[in-house]
Each structure stands twice: as C-alpha cells, then as structure tokens.
A and B are shown apart, each in its own frame.
Chain A
Amino acid sequence: MQEEVVLKVENLTKRFGGVIAVDNVNFSLKKGEFLGIIGPNGSGKTTLINLITGFVKPTSGKVVFNETDITGKPPYQIACLGVSRSFQMVRAFHKLPAFKNLIVPLYSPRVKKLGGGKYGERDDVAIDLLDDLGFERDSAVPYKAAGSLPHGYLKRLDLARCMALRPNLLILDELFSGMAMSEVAATLPMIEKFNREGLTIVMAEHRLKELFRVANRVIVLNFGQKIADGTPKEAMAHEEVQKAYLGTEVEG
C-alpha cells in the first residue's frame, strides 16, 4: 500500500586511500520500512551512514532522498530535509543541561519552518521530548549536565535529539551499543512506536536479537559490499552471511 520510495542509494562507493570502505552499494527504502544494517566490525556500516547523511563525501554514486539528490550536500542541509541521525560514539554537549541539548535541533530552520519551537517554548518542547524517552520530567535528570548522566541516558538523549528535528527518516548508528539489557528493553518499544506512527527507520546494529524483533528488512555488509538483502530470516540463511559472521570451515 505504501510504495513511496523515501531513500535511494545507487552505486555508492567510498575509498579511503587504498581501502574501499563502501563498495558499490545499492538499495532503496520505502516509506514506513524498518531497515536493519548489520555486518561484522569494519564492514562499512558507519561509513554508509556518514555517506547518506553528508558527513563523508562519496567517491562515486548517488543518494536520493524523497526525489531530491542529496549526494555530497553538507550535513546540515540533509538534516534540514528531514534525515536525522544518531552517533555511534556518544556525542553530546556535556556542559549543557540535558534538555538544553535539544535546543540546537529545535532552533534549526527545519523545525522553525514546521512551526514548532517558537521562542520561549523550546524548553518545554525539549522537556516533552525527553519525557517521552524516559527522562522523567519531575525528576532532576533532564536538568542535569549531560556530562554527568550515565551512558544509557546519553544514548537516549541522542535519540531525543534526532526526534527533535521531526525527521522523515531516522538513522540510528548502534544506538544499543553499551546499553544495559534493561535499557535496551525500555528503548526498543519507543523506536517501534515511532515506526508504527509512520517513521522510516534505518538502524545499524550489532545486537541482532533485538534488531530482528523490530526490523522487517535487513541489509548485510561485509568489507563494504552488500552481501544480502531481505527479511532477517532470509538474510541470516544466506551462505555468505554465515561465512562473514562465523568464518569458513578450516579443512583438515
């Protein structure tokens, strides 16, 4: 029913000197899909995300978002079109109170145009967003300096920062890395809810069990190449995928 293509990646390649980090990757993403990107360490998941979001310029290939060519555009322009990303390593404004971290996306031209976050209302919007993601508004947590929060909170703060931009496409780069099981269990339904409400999500993740609970499609990368694309079951049944994850049999 929803056949609208949100993201189209065509022959995307990135070389760092002699290393081919992303090698001729193709895929397209329909509205409302939940795509998982998996692959061993160093397989190019983060580089692929950096290429889509403009943080790294591709060597060749094309990225099209909602029929707009965004290849090589600066990150802030891509973000303003509605592509929001989280960071694998925790990146936050550590000295600012947690809720003030969300002022930056709320101050962006995109959110201003969408009519949200007028002057003086942004703090309230920020608190609302954090409350939705498990920062109880009546506790001291949203008001504490981001630098003093535990890792799990910072990861969710990053997710809140992404949602503050009111994205059309949410790209999560190993959101669950370093999170405790209980935190993952608490965060997973939130992301599921965003997807149910129609948000297209791409999620690079190492924790396959959790990912497969929410993703309805998976892309597997190995040495920068796409080696499988399909439902989680199909992808994991693929011979090359099993080789990439488990290694080949040694003879003799």
Chain B
Amino acid sequence: MAEAAKMRRERIDRGIKARSDTIFALSSYRDMLYLILPRFLPIALLLCLPLFLGSSYWGKVVFYACIFALLALSWDFMASVGLISLGQALFFGVGSYVSGGFNFYYKWPIFLTIPLATFGGALICTLLLVPVLRLRGVYFSMVTLILPLLFDHLIETLEILGGTHGLLSLSPFPNHWMAVYIALIAVVGILFGFRKLITEDFGLVLRGIREDDRVVMAGGINIYWYKAQAIFIASAVGCFAGALMTHYYQFVGRSAFALDNTILPLTGAVLGGPGSFAGSVIGTFILVPLSEALRALGGLRMALYGIILIGALAILPEGIFHYMERKYHQFERDVRI
C-alpha cells in the first residue's frame, strides 16, 4: 500500500525538454528511444518502401505520392508566409512543360531538363506572381487559381507546345528505382530543409509576414522581396515535382494544369496538419494511396473520397501531425518517488 503511494505519473517529456528547444539532457536509453524513434522510424520506413513494393502498381503509387507530397510541401511553405495558394497546378504545369519542351524540341537529356525546369520554371512562376504580391488573402488565392487555367487555355487555343495532344515520347528515367528514389530523397530533404528554414531567422521573418505584415514593415523589412523569395522556393519545389512526373510519364499535356494538381496537395496538407510540413507528407501519403484504392469503385470513388475527407477533417480539424505531436508530448510513465 505504501509502495503504491510512492509511484507518480510523469510526462516523459519532462526530464528531456529544457527551456530551450535545442538543448536536450538525456538520462537513459529509453529517453533516447523516445526521442529518436518517432523521428527516425517513419523516415526509415519511407525510404524502404520501394524495396518492398518494387516496380509494381503500388510501387508506382509511391512515386505519385511523392510528387503530390512535394506539391503539398510547396503549398505549406507558401501558407506559412500567409500566401494561401490555390495554384499548385501552375507550378506543376510550368515545371512539366519546361522540362518536357526542352526535352522534346531540343532533345536535352533529363539531367539538364529537370534542374532547368526547377529553377527556370520557378523564375517564370515568381515573375507571374510578382505583380500580385500586394494582394492578400482570398484575392491572392483567386489569382493563383486563374493562372493555371490561363495556361491551359493558351495551349489549347494557340496550339503551342503540342496543343491538345501534348508532347509525346519524352525521355524516361533510366529505371523505376532511380525515379522513385530521386522523388523520395527530395521529399525527405525538402521536408527537413523546410522545417529547419522556418525556424531560422529568415523563416521567422516569413512567419512574421503571415502574422502581421505591418509590424514586419515597421521593422525595416521589405515584405514584397521576402514574399517573392518564398514564392520562388515554393514554386521551385512544385516545378521540380512537375518535371519528375513529366519524365516518369514520358508525356506532358494540358492535364498538368488540371485542378486535381491543386486540390489533392492542398487537401493532403490540410488533412496532415498545415504549418508542420511533416503533415503535408503524411497527408498525401494517406490520400494518394487511398484515392488509388478507391479507383475500383468507379463513379462512386470521388463521392467516397469526399466523405472520407470531410469525416477526417471533422474528427481531426488540427490535422494528423498536430494531433500525434500533442499526444507524443503527453506520453507518461510511472516514476518512483
């Protein structure tokens, strides 16, 4: 009886977390496991996933999930500056057409067209959005929604870049493995890159712009220049995803600018938990396979997909990642006093 009174429940976090979030005091292997496992395990699983699935149908789904994860990361990065984009399809499409175009017309190899599409495409997207940097909220979103439609119609009516037929028989990746690992490593790299960047001083300025741009201006910082940089970074990621997809499909068509390429990453990011970047990856890695699995249902697919999405957002409005993170910090253990 007296024994029982000497036990107390304590959060595991307690001993580990010092006031600063960069200093850790580890007292045991269990503490170390508590810290490392949730961070290391998902990444390890993610990187091993293609090994189990090979180049089967589900192996391809991993690649698609990566592409949409990249787009979701790009969306989340813009959202962390307060720029709510409805135009991930713009980045995706521009990236697709830049790499596809140079490959088709000039026969440039993919290891030139992909970097070119990433940075050249990002430059094009940024220049397109610079005139509307002053717009805030829904006005900015509307412009980003319209731009991909504009490209879609330009290509259709002017019959440029292959018109409605698209550009066919582009160079493929040497093999499936290379494609899927480039995509996976990019997802992991950009995920951690973004998480690091947003806590740096540069990232703090970006988050400041999201919270109150007048205070940032009063602090002597040109918010338009920082917004432009953020758009360049986000669109480079989106264009990179587009370029990868183009060469994977060996085809680029007007569908690159389709609304799906906006909606799916956005819902993935929101479902996973916006603002965390990890949520974007988790969300898309749930949604993409889910929408593939529902393919068998034919017409009902989109309806069921919608219901699942609404249900998930109603139950977990904060997003999966934020929920898991909260629970993680609430882990308890018994300690002897």
Contact = CB atoms under 8 A, between A and B. Distances in A.
B39 to A, nearest CB: 22
Interface of B: 19-20, 201-202, 204-205, 207-208, 211-212, 214-223
A122 B201 contact: yes
A109 interface: yes
B201 A79 contact: no
Contact of B208 (A74, A79, A104): A104
Contacts of A143: 19-20
A119 B203 CA distance: 13
A207 B207 CA distance: 34
B4 to A, nearest CB: 34
B54 to A, nearest CB: 44
Interface string A139-171: 010010000000000000000011011000000
A84 B212 contact: no
Contact of A79 (B204, B207, B218): B218
A110 B220 contact: yes
A111 B221 CA distance: 11
User: Which of B204, B211, B219, B221 is most buried by chain A, counting CB atoms within 10 A of its CB?
Assistant: B219
Given A75-B214, A143-B19, A96 B219 contact: no
Contact of A105 (B202, B212, B220, B222): B220
Interface of A is mostly: helix
A110 B20 CA distance: 28
6 contacts: A53-B218, A93-B208, A93-B211, A104-B204, A104-B208, A161-B218
A96 B208 contact: yes
A104 B214 contact: no
Interface in A93-129: 93-96, 100-101, 103-111, 119, 122
A95 B214 contact: no
B212 A93 contact: yes
Interface string A15-46: 00000000000000000000000000000000
Top-9 shortest CB links A-B: A108-B220, A79-B220, A105-B219, A75-B217, A104-B219, A80-B220, A93-B211, A103-B204, A76-B217
A109 B216 CA distance: 12
A91 interface: yes
Contacts of A95: 207, 211
B223 to A, nearest CB: 7
B217 A74 contact: yes
B193 to A, nearest CB: 17
B216 to A, nearest CB: 5
Contact of B204 (A85, A91, A92, A107): A107
Nearest to A158: B215
B219 to A, nearest CB: 4
Contacts of B202: 107
Interface of A: 53, 55, 74-77, 79-80, 84-85, 87, 91-96, 100-101, 103-111, 119, 122, 140, 143, 161-162, 164-165
A79 B215 contact: no
Residue among A79, A80, A164, A165 with most chain B CB within 10 A: A79
Contacts of A122: 201
Given A100-B204, A104-B208, A164-B219, 12 more contacts: A75-B214, A76-B217, A76-B223, A91-B212, A91-B214, A93-B207, A93-B212, A94-B211, A104-B219, A107-B219, A107-B221, A111-B220
B201 A93 contact: no
A107 B202 CA distance: 8
A87 B218 contact: yes
A58 B215 CA distance: 20
Contacts of B201: 103, 106-107, 119, 122
A76 B207 contact: no
Contacts of B220: 76, 79-80, 105, 108-111, 165
Nearest to A94: B211
Contact of A103 (B19, B20, B205, B211): B205
Given A76-B223, A96-B204, A104 B216 contact: yes
B220 to A, nearest CB: 3
Contacts of B214: 55, 75, 87, 91
A101 B216 CA distance: 10
B23 to A, nearest CB: 12
A106 B208 CA distance: 13
Nearest to A95: B211
Nearest to A85: B218
B112 to A, nearest CB: 34
Contacts of B212: 91-93
Contact of B218 (A75, A106, A111, A119): A75
A104 B215 contact: yes
A118 B292 CA distance: 50
Contact of B215 (A53, A74, A87, A109): A87
A109 B96 CA distance: 37
Nearest to B212: A91
A26 B201 CA distance: 40
Nearest to A109: B220
Contacts of A109: 220-221
Contacts of A161: 215, 218-219
A106 B202 CA distance: 11
B323 to A, nearest CB: 18
Contacts of A105: 219-221
A77 B217 CA distance: 8
